[in-house]
Chain A
């Protein structure tokens, strides 16, 4: 999926979790139906993070598990078959909150420009009304520190520490 398509999709779809509907992790069985929970989920040719892409599915698409191998699932979608890491699917269909302009901006950028967002304007006004300028400066500091960690560093941590798709 092209980036522009992701952006468009981000405008339409604001992901959110219904109360107990969206399990973050579960043991999945063959034959079970699960749902994609990311804006784009790549179905891979092999069970592993470095495998080539077979196809991709969008948000909240139903997938049928054909095979489970460790933390990896071979699934079938309308677009085809492929392997997906179990952390990238949910046991129940994710729900959608009302979309906003903010969603359009954030959805596609979560991974690439994380933590670029400052305090919301309403919260800045709140800080001024409550004399919370020190707390505001503290949160600005956290945001600046967080922004210094690119998505590549997160993936490097995962690879070095065998987390997520890099689990053994």
Chain B
């Protein structure tokens, strides 16, 4: 059995050279063989990626999907509200909060959506959005921090990423992100799945309540009032003529308020 053991690496070396060197690939019949080997190699890589699902998407894959989901969010909610002062404010508050998130591998960005709906979204990879109506409703930095901390927790705890990891799309996503595939289907499916969950269906209510409580803790440890999110939800509940859309992708404000501690409202700025 020594000969096959020696032959295998030599054959692999030869075929590797053939793939890498065009002149060798000109040998009759070798082109088809190397094509076949390439296909096997790609399938093996994809299979390994699927097997890797237990350990999750890479950061690069998460960011690639999250950026496309961000495009979908912006497209759905009226584009970005290009107010430099307001954008700077949410980024300052958001980045202070993100310093104490667990995920320090992300570049956190915070944007405002030009929409009268009251809502907030997070895309995998570190992009957070709140609507203009919600921004205007939040009366203080504490209240804004409460909303932003909730969205940060969705990303920090990889809630959307887990949706993809539960599926079987990892292999194709990896190939596309690595720029060696023209097959957009798995990537498009993953983006569609996450965007659908975030924009239409919403996360599971248990996930939302968890983000509420974890966001409250994040705001508090950062030094913002623990009752910031609660104050926003109370304010929404007390509106005489509520906006057409209020946290449509979240559980009811009543249910969320029931699960949050009875923190006092924050002082106005």
Contacts and interface: CB of A to CB of B under 8 A. Distances in A.
A53 interface: no
Contacts of B217: 23-26
Interface residues of B, number: 66
A161 B107 CA distance: 23
Contacts of A164: 96, 99-100, 222-223
Contacts of A145: 84, 87-88, 91
Contacts of B179: 121
Contacts of B157: 17, 19-20, 22
A126 B218 contact: no
Interface in B66-120: 67-68, 70-72, 74-75, 79-80, 82, 84, 87-88, 91-93, 95-96, 99-111
A136 B71 contact: yes
A122 B141 contact: no
Given A19-B162, A102-B59, A136-B71, A110 B105 contact: yes
A166 B96 CA distance: 11
B109 A146 contact: yes
B224 interface: yes
Interface residues of A, number: 67
A107 B100 CA distance: 15
B55 interface: yes
Interface in B11-58: 52, 55-58
A15 B92 contact: no
Contacts of A38: 104
A2 interface: no
A151 B74 CA distance: 26
Nearest to A168: B223
A130 interface: yes
Contact of B101 (A24, A119, A129): A24
Contact of B59 (A100, A132, A143, A146): A100
A82 interface: no
Given A19-B157, A122-B187, A141-B82, A107 B105 contact: yes
B221 A25 contact: yes
A69 interface: no
A130 B187 CA distance: 13
A86 B220 CA distance: 11
A59 to B, nearest CB: 8
Interface string B222-263: 111000000000000000000000000000000000000000
A15 B102 contact: yes
B197 interface: no
Given A17-B102, A98-B57, 17 more contacts: A16-B59, A16-B103, A19-B162, A94-B102, A106-B59, A107-B104, A110-B104, A122-B68, A126-B68, A138-B80, A139-B70, A141-B80, A142-B111, A154-B95, A161-B223, A164-B223, A166-B223
23 contacts: A15-B104, A16-B56, A22-B156, A25-B220, A38-B104, A87-B99, A97-B57, A97-B58, A99-B59, A102-B60, A110-B105, A120-B177, A122-B64, A122-B67, A122-B68, A123-B67, A123-B68, A123-B71, A135-B75, A142-B111, A146-B109, A154-B95, A161-B141
